[in-house]
């Protein structure tokens, strides 16, 4: 976990350091994230995640362009009896019976956004995020548990909107496609690239 904290600190330190550019305008946002698994992630945990949070900081470097950083946390889980094939160094087996499956995904990104509206009005935007995902996969079988955790290179295009409400506050909503490339090993021994969609809504502070 030490490396996770260090990576998050680097992203935000680089974001808040003075930048040469258009202005010193900054947007800070905190969002609640609801996420929908896809591909390999859906095969492992098929439930929608209602446990997620995101924190972003953006600094304008041109009238319609900002750069910044993002830190999030999304938790997926499923209580299932589905068959799972395990391919471990210690053993290989096909397992059924009641299982608790978990995925903790922590994206840490550098981001850039382009805005289609004016700051005093509704501000639609599109953005690109590039960085890393820390992903911890866990399987509980009775009194036994198996864990795999890896760092993944990842990308996350997004689109959204900011609605200023006055007094430097606003509402933000966005939709993000998360893709973590394959890295390390999964519990089953299969590909551990992960994809999921997230629908996010929260508050933005513009200063």
The per-residue DSSP string of 67-82 comes to EEEEEEEEEEEEEE--
80 Cα distance to chain centroid: 24
Q: Is the pLDDT of residue 4 over 80?
A: no
User: In the prediction, which pLDDT does 18 show?
Assistant: 45
In a domain, 86, yes or no: no
188 or 8, higher pLDDT: 188
pLDDT in tens, 31-88: 999 999 998 899 889 999 999 999 999 999 998 999 999 999 999 999 988 888 776 6
CATH number of 50's domain? 2.40.160.20
Distance between CA atoms of 123 and 114, rounded to whole angstroms? 10
What does the block give as tokens for 98? 């009641």
Strand stretches in the chain, DSSP E: 26-38, 51-62, 65-80, 84-87, 92-95, 99-115, 123-141, 144-166, 169-180, 194-206
Number of domains in the chain: 1
Q: Measure the CA angle with vertex 44, ends 74 and 177; round to 5°.
A: 45
User: In the prediction, which pLDDT does 21 show?
Assistant: 44
Domain with 161 in it: 2-77+102-182+191-206
- Tell which residue, 104, 190, 89, has the closest CA to residue 150: 104
Q: For the chain, where are the alpha helices, taking DSSP H only?
A: 2-16, 39-44
In a domain, 132, yes or no: yes
């Amino acid at each position: 976990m030490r490396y996770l904290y260090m990576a998050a600190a680097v992203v935000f330190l680089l974001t808040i350091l003075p930048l040469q550019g258009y202005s010193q305008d900054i947007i800070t946002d905190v969002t609640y994230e609801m996420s929908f698994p896809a591909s390999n992630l859906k095969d492992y945990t098929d439930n929608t995640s209602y446990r997620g949070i995101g924190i972003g900081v953006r600094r304008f470097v041109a009238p319609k362009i900002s750069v910044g950083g993002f830190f999030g946390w999304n938790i997926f889980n499923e209580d299932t009896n589905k068959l799972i094939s395990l391919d471990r160094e210690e053993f290989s087996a096909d397992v059924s019976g009641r299982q608790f499956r978990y995925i903790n995904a922590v994206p840490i990104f550098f981001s850039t956004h382009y805005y289609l509206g004016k700051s005093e009005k509704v501000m639609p935007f599109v953005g690109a995020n590039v960085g890393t995902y820390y992903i911890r996969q866990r399987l509980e079988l009775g009194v036994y548990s198996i864990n795999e955790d890896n760092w993944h290179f990842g990308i996350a295009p997004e689109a959204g909107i900011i609605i200023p409400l006055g007094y430097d506050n606003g509402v933000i909503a966005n939709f993000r496609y998360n893709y973590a490339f394959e890295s390390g090993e999964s519990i089953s021994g299969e590909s551990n690239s992960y994809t999921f969609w997230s629908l996010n809504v929260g508050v933005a502070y513009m200063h």
